[in-house]
Amino acid sequence: MTHFRSVFQSLLFVFLLCSCGNSREILPGKSGDVTFTNPIITADFSDPDVIRVGKNYYMTASSFYVSPGLPVLHSKDLVNWTILGHGIKQNPNARLTYRGRNKDELDYNIPRFGMGVYAPSLRYHDGFFWIFWGDPDAGIYMVKTEDPAADWSEPVLVHEASGIIDPSPLWDETTGKAWLSFAYASSRSGKNSMIDVCEMSWDGTKLFGDPVTVFDARDSDRFPADRFHRTIEGTKFMQRDGWYYILCPAGGVERGWQTAMRAKDPFGPYEIRTICETGSTKINGPHQGGLVESYSGEWWFIHFQSTGTLGRIVRLEPAYWENEWPVIGIDTDNDGIGNPVSSYYYPHPPEPKQIQTSDDFNSGELGLQWQWVANPKDNWYELKDGNLLLPAIYSANDPLFETPHVLTQMFPGFSFTATVKVDLSSTEKVRGGLASFGRKTFDIGVEQLDKAFRISVRFNNDILVSAFTQKSNNIWLRLTTTGEMPKPLERRESNSIEDEVIRRENLQPYEYEDLERWRNGLIMGQFSYSFDGINFTDLSEPFEVRSGRWTGARIGLYSLKTGSEGNGHVAFDYIRIENSFK
């Protein structure tokens, strides 16, 4: 009987491994372990990197153009996370132009979609937490701190260059030398699919000598590989058992895979191999993240998955070492390459916590989930008597996606409701409201017209539909979204020239302008309003939410002038975000 049970358990294990493409696989860990389900964070923490200090885990991610930037997150179990702080209060201004960009387009005083903080690396060394990142229009920056929840140092420009991105430092205690790996953005540098390494000062403030190319996907004679690793980038430099490793994503954001390079010298020569790919799982693009050893001695990989409108959400994969190579996920087909998991056992006993979303504005500071779409000024908000006061600074006549004074946070999932309670008693010549913010924006807002209030939904700054009321100065505005995880992410079919002409003749601009490239992974939004916070009336037709550039869509709060003068403001009593699910 014992032998029969053993055989049965072995067959069951094989069945679970082989069926991971379509079902929720629970792979074997320790007896009685609790399992988690991927993704672990359904919000746009792009290009994550993770470290462990003692029994605490810390993570950072790309923030691109929003401020404060470089979110710093904390976890005790690698699954449940909360925002701890930010590495920078404002984006350092860009310094270098490309493709005719003039000097007036280098600051971050207005939203700069697709610019800013790219793919940071987080490290702990010499008693300090360090973050290195690349701004493709400036170069490589560094900040550090002894306390990741407190203020970080002012950014240091380690190396000024156009198109250098995704740096990762390595301090080699055996030689007393430090190194930095990095990649290139072809839009600025004219080259990509290559990785360079340069010697760095021990204090992390400058580079020495010329960089050495340690891999170039376009030169297979010098750098042989197991496949064509196009768009290789996102470097993570590490050392283990006498080997230098550089982990890199390749193949592109949506369809890519994870690679590892190893050598006995920081300058190579490096071997390269694929260590994680989609396989039969339908989990697209399992790559770009950080490898970390738990305090119990296991290895784990945190990375993003590109999901269309929501952005790049966070997954956790088991990892292990085989023949001095890392393998990420589970090698279900025994080809030496790991595949991502839908679920797995917890690294440690769960300590539930969640990313901050709702805010009652009763604290003396904004919640850590909030980020401005441009570098903020001191007069952009006030917290008073349990309200967030946003003064009307910019004009309602300008498109909202070009307006600097918009307070935002990430969409927390594909399907949720975001409800704000608004006090409109100080809103003469002011429009205030709630937005779905991206490279094109939808918003619902209220403005005073004589003795009435107009509630309207806009696309950019064009009103789509309106309603009028004289009922109350208090109004509740709501954004409701619906969407689901793409399996896998697929491109839209391109329209013919004839079809595009017909579309533009028969559709409103909000129905066709700047749509997502994807036919799945889309999120539909709808706005509604209420006078009691309970019974809501839909005002808009459902609309296709727009993401940002390299970023997911964001929830926004705003206050705008409707005339040439006016010193009014909008008071937000709270925002409640509910019903978010994976």
- Angle (CA) 149-151-153 rounded to 5° is 130
CA 200 from chain centre, in angstroms, equals 28
Q: Is the peptide bond before 39 cis (omega within 30 degrees of 0)?
A: yes
3-state DSSP percent of the chain in helix, strand and coil, to 5: 10, 45, 50
- Nearest C-alpha neighbor of 47 from the set 303, 412, 276: 303
Dihedral pair phi/psi, residue 308, rounded to 5°: 85, -130
DSSP letter assigned to residue 90:
S
Q: 462 forms bridges with which residues in the sheet?
A: 459
| Cα–Cα distance, 169 to 132 (Å, whole number) | 7
- Angle (CA) 522-527-533 rounded to 5° is 130
Answer whether 317's CB lies under 8 Å from 341's CB.
yes
Answer whether 413's CB lies under 8 Å from 310's CB.
yes
Q: 143 forms bridges with which residues in the sheet?
A: 131
| Cα–Cα distance, 316 to 304 (Å, whole number) | 9
Q: How many CB atoms lie within 10 A of CB 379?
A: 9
| Cα–Cα distance, 214 to 263 (Å, whole number) | 10
Q: Which token pair is 387?
A: 């309200």
Answer whether 525's CB lies under 8 Å from 442's CB.
yes
233 an active-site residue? yes
Q: 58 forms bridges with which residues in the sheet?
A: 51, 74
Answer whether 275's CB lies under 8 Å from 261's CB.
no
CA 253 from chain centre, in angstroms, equals 12
Q: Which token pair is 62?
A: 């790309």
Per DSSP bridges, beta strands 382-384 and 537-538 are unpaired
| Cα–Cα distance, 499 to 484 (Å, whole number) | 28
| Cα–Cα distance, 447 to 532 (Å, whole number) | 18
Q: Which token pair is 128?
A: 């300090």
Q: 155 forms bridges with which residues in the sheet?
A: none
DSSP letter assigned to residue 10:
H
| Cα–Cα distance, 165 to 213 (Å, whole number) | 14
Write out the H or E segment, with its range, that includes residue 302.
Answer: strand 299-306
Q: Which token pair is 326?
A: 């890392």
Q: Identify the active-site residue in 25, 49, 166, 233.
A: 233
Q: Identify the active-site residue in 25, 44, 47, 254.
A: 47
Answer whether 234's CB lies under 8 Å from 248's CB.
yes
By the 10 Å C-beta count (0-12 exposed, 13-18 middle, 19+ buried), 55 is classed as exposed
360 an active-site residue? no
Strands (E), 224-270: 236-240, 243-250, 257-263
- Nearest C-alpha neighbor of 405 from the set 559, 197, 579: 559
Residues labelled catalytic:
47, 233
